[in-house]
């Protein structure tokens, strides 16, 4: 089997859903062309079979010519062999086209998700992203899969019509006129299918979102006794999805019925007219048998047209969801070109915060949301007047490679512990040495000793406690080794002894690098090189931790409150 695309999937045409599907067909043109060619050979080998049967009857049986009978029998065997071989090859190519289209769509969607970054969850729900990555890519793959059979069906119908015109112009005209009429008669059934499919996809996305939220907060729901309430809501929403699915199935059944009824009427008409011509002596017995075979054969390509229409309709709906996602731009694009010589001074004008390069700075805020807002602006996850080395942050190139903001909502990835932690460019370059130092700084050696770096991590690190996950997230952030590291309450879930070790190791581990820790923990504040106190979104005092305790009552009250909350 050929390998799937693993490099850059290309730049998709995201202007319309149809253009996106055409782009997929264009970038996979070799596979599509081979699929179409094999589909034509596969269908033609079946379409020519009735002609061989008719000739065998007329030239072999009726004329009592054994040699002709054997020759046409051999032709039928050859057509059967060609049909079998081309059918197998066509199926393999069609499956490869399906997988390539689906995987390429996953690649461009994943790349766009990375590009949107923090904007993604504000623009699309988790359920919509999951729906695109699971069901929509399958429908888009179906569109590429049906191309091979659809192309063969079109050519087969044209060839059969030409054969019928040559043998009997009236029969040929019946086919040439009947096929477009069948397609026109079935066309009105496509619009309800598209609308109901679109509605069904939206409801599935909403249901997936609620399912992820329910699973993520299951422990909390059980603790407050809300499990049954939310389970009831989920059940009601799933019934809405079920009803929408039934509506889609009803529209599909109407289309499927038309796929059988309308071609069947055409077959009956061709057979009746052919029998009349045979009775009048216009057609031979062999030709009548051949025409009946053509009529029966036409059911397959005409049914294929209906199947292709249904799959293209679903693919169009799915492509519309993909195109909508691809058309989104990050709320705060990071596409600057300036490259300040780092490390450089980081200034948040809104709060008055000045972060000196190479300094371990702690930001203590009377209200946690103020510290979060500052961190968002420093990492350019929220708009604000921030400069880096005197250059507006929006104009700085490679912000994500320079500044890392680590929050407690970050997730651990499924896989080995080593792969889950060594995700930064620095960790990849320096290997286990840098990762080992990061683990020690985060006081996470005991976790590694218990599971090993090659031990498997479940999705979101469910097997670890909250404190263990926090230490592992801190180790991952340290291993990334960015110029500027912004940490938000990195020790809130660990005990006091572990917090003291982390606080004592963090400064030396980040020597020469800029580190900002948003916290009100006295243990961390006491180890910081410089402490900034923020109230109502503005810096109101700064200095050493112990000096601020003596000179700034508001700061002392904030820190003392933290100490009181930390006591058992």
Residue 567: per-residue pLDDT: 47
More confident residue, 298 or 39: 39
Whether pLDDT at 155 is above 90: no
Say if CB 528 and CB 502 are below 8 A apart: no
φ, ψ (nearest 5 deg) of residue 481: 60, 50
Q: What is the mean pLDDT of residues 217-222?
A: 54
Q: Which one is predicted more confidently, 122 or 97? A: 97
pLDDT at 425: 45
pLDDT over 50 at 103, yes or no:
yes
Asked if residues 252 and 194 have their Cβ atoms less than 8 Å apart, the reply is no
Q: Which of 8-12, 168-172, 552-556 has the lowest mean pLDDT?
A: 168-172
Percent of the chain with pLDDT over 70: 85
Q: C-alpha 189: how far from its chain's center?
A: 29
The answer to whether the beta carbons of residues 97 and 28 sit under 8 Å apart is: yes
- Interval 237-272: pLDDT, tens: 888 888 888 887 887 788 777 767 777 777 778 778
Residue 397 has pLDDT above 70, yes or no: yes
430 pLDDT band (50/70/90 cuts)?
very low
How confident is the model over 192-214, as pLDDT tens digits?
766 777 677 677 766 666 666 65
Asked whether 45 and 164 are in contact (CB, 8 A), the reply is no
Report d(CA 198, CA 318) in Å as an integer: 8
330 with 117: CB under 8 angstroms?
A: yes
If we measure between CA atoms, which residue out of 471, 426, 482 comes closest to residue 449? 471
Full 3-state SS string of 146-211: HHHHHHHHHHHHHHHHHHHHHHCHHHHHHHHHHHHHHHHHHHHHHHHHHHHHHHHHHHHHHHHHHH
On the CB side of 110, CA atoms within 13 Å amount to 13
In this model, does residue 222 exceed pLDDT 60?
Answer: no
Provide the pLDDT confidence category of residue 187 given band limits of 50, 70 and 90: low
Q: Higher pLDDT residue, 263 or 474? A: 474
Q: Cβ(447)–Cβ(472) under 8 Å?
A: yes
Please indicate whether residue 319 or residue 277 has the higher confidence score (pLDDT): 319
Is 416 in a helix, a strand, or coil? Answer: strand
Spell out the residues 6+ positions from residue 565 whose beta carbon is closer than 8 angstroms to its own.
Answer: none
The pLDDT assigned to 428 comes to 45
* Side-by-side strand order, sheet with 538-543: 403-406, 484-488, 514-518, 360-365, 530-535, 538-543
DSSP-derived 3-state class of residue 63? coil
Query: CB–CB of 247/239 below 8 Å?
Result: no
**322-359 pLDDT per residue, tens:** 888 888 877 666 666 777 776 789 999 999 999 999 99
The percentage of residues in the chain with a pLDDT greater than 90, rounded to a whole number, is 20
Nearest C-alpha neighbor of 364 from the set 379, 374, 378: 374
Residue 102 backbone dihedrals phi, psi, to 5 degrees:
-65, -45
Q: Burial level of 2, CB count in 10 A (0-12/13-18/19+)?
A: exposed
> Between these two residues, 60 and 432, which has the higher pLDDT value?
60
HSE toward the beta carbon, residue 415, CA cutoff 13 A: 9
Residue 334: the pLDDT is 64
How far apart CA 58 and CA 226 sit, in angstroms, is 80
- Ordered domains of the chain (ranges, CATH): 17-326 (1.20.1560.10), 346-566 (3.40.50.300)
Q: Are 525 and 566 in contact (CB under 8 A)?
A: no
Q: Is the pLDDT of residue 225 over 70?
A: no
Judged against a pLDDT cut of 90, whether residue 488 lies above it is answered with yes
Region 386-390: mean pLDDT is: 89
C-alpha torsion sign, points 254, 256, 258, 261: negative
pLDDT at 125: 64
Lowest-confidence segment of 20-24, 149-153, 167-171, 249-253 by average pLDDT = 167-171
User: Residue 77 and residue 81: Cα distance in Å, rounded?
Assistant: 6
Helix (H) or strand (E) run with residue 347 in it: strand 346-348
- pLDDT number for residue 194: 66
pLDDT (tens digit per residue) in 404-419: 998 887 777 777 878 7
Are 447 and 418 in contact by the 8 Å Cβ rule? The answer is no
Q: What residues contact residue 110 under an 8 Å CB cut-off, 6+ apart? A: none
Note the pLDDT of residue 390. 87
Higher-confidence residue: 378 or 54?
A: 378
Exposed, middle or buried: residue 96 (CB in 10 Å: 0-12, 13-18, 19+)? buried
53-62 as b/e: b if 16+ CB within 10 A: bbbbbbbbee
Give the model's confidence band at 137: pLDDT under 50 very low, under 70 low, under 90 confident, else very high.
confident
Predicted structure pTM score: 0.60
User: Residue 429 — very low, low, confident or very high, per pLDDT cuts 50/70/90?
Assistant: very low
Q: What is the pLDDT of residues 527-561, one digit of tens each?
A: 999 999 999 999 999 999 999 999 999 999 988 87
Beta bridge pairs of residue 516? 361, 486
Q: What is the mean pLDDT of the chain?
A: 81
pLDDT of 427 > 60? The answer is: no
Average pLDDT (106-121) is 78
Displacement of CA 256 from its chain's centroid (Å): 30
Q: DSSP assignment of 242-293, as one string? A: HHHHHHHHHHHHHHHHHHHHHHHHHHHHHHHHHHHHHHTTSS-HHHHHHHHH
59-63, 94-98, 486-490, 531-535, range with the lowest pLDDT: 59-63
Per-residue pLDDT at 423: 61
Asked if omega into 171 is within 30° of 0 (cis), the reply is no
Residue 1 in this model has a pLDDT that exceeds 60: no
């Amino acid at each position: 089997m050929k390998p799937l695309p693993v490099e850059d999937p290309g730049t998709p045409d995201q202007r319309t859903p149809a253009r996106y599907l055409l782009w997929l067909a264009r970038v996979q043109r070799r596979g599509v062309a081979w699929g179409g060619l094999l589909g034509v050979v596969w269908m033609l080998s079946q379409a020519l079979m009735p002609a061989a049967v008719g000739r065998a009857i007329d030239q072999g049986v009726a004329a009592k010519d054994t040699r002709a009978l054997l020759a046409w029998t051999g032709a039928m065997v050859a057509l059967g062999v060609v049909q079998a071989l081309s059918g197998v090859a066509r199926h393999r190519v069609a499956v490869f086209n399906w997988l390539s289209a689906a995987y390429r769509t996953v690649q461009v969607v994943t790349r766009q998700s990375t590009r949107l970054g923090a904007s993604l969850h504000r623009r699309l729900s988790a359920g919509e992203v999951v729906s695109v990555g699971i069901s929509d890519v399958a429908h888009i793959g179906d569109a590429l899969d049906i191309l091979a059979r659809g192309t063969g069906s079109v050519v087969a119908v044209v060839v059969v019509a030409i054969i019928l015109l040559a043998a009997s112009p009236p029969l040929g005209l019946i086919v040439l006129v009947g096929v477009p009429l069948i397609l026109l008669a079935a066309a009105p059934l496509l619009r309800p299918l598209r609308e109901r499919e679109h509605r069904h996809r939206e409801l599935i996305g909403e249901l997936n979102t609620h399912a992820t939220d329910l699973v993520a907060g299951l422990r909390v729901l059980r603790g407050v006794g809300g499990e049954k309430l939310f389970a009831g809501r989920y059940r009601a929403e799933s019934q809405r999805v079920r009803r929408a699915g039934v509506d889609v199935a009803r529209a599909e059944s109407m289309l499927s019925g038309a796929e059988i009824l309308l071609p069947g009427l055409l077959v009956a008409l061709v057979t009746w007219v052919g029998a009349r011509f045979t009775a009048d002596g216009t057609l031979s017995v062999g030709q009548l048998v051949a025409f009946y075979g053509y009529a029966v054969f036409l059911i397959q390509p005409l049914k294929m047209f209906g199947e292709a229409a249904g799959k293209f309709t679903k693919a169009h709906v799915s492509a519309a969801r993909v195109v909508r996602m691809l058309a989104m731009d990050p709320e705060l694009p990071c596409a600057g070109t300036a490259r300040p010589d780092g490390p450089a001074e980081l200034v948040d004008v809104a709060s008055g915060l000045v972060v000196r390069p190479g300094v371990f700075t702690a930001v203590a805020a009377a209200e946690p949301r103020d510290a979060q807002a500052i961190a968002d602006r420093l990492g350019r996850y929220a708009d604000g007047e921030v400069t880096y080395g005197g250059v507006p942050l929006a104009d700085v190139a490679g912000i994500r490679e320079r500044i890392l903001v680590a929050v407690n909502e970050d997730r651990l990835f499924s896989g080995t512990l080593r792969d889950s932690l060594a995700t930064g460019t620095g960790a990849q370059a320096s290997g286990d040495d840098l990762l080992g130092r990061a683990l020690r700084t985060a006081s996470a050696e005991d976790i590694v000793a218990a599971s090993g770096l090659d031990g498997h991590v479940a999705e979101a690190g469910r097997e670890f406690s909250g404190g263990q996950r926090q230490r592992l997230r801190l180790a991952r952030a340290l291993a990334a080794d960015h110029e500027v590291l912004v940490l938000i309450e990195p020790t809130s879930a660990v005990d006091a002894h572990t917090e003291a070790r982390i606080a004592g190791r963090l400064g030396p581990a980040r020597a020469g690098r800029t580190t900002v820790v948003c916290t009100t923990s006295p243990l961390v504040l006491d180890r910081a090189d410089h402490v900034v106190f923020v109230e109502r979104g503005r810096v109101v005092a700064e200095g050493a931790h112990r000096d601020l305790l003596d000179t700034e009552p508001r700061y002392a009250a904030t820190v003392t409150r933290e100490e009181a909350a930390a006591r058992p």
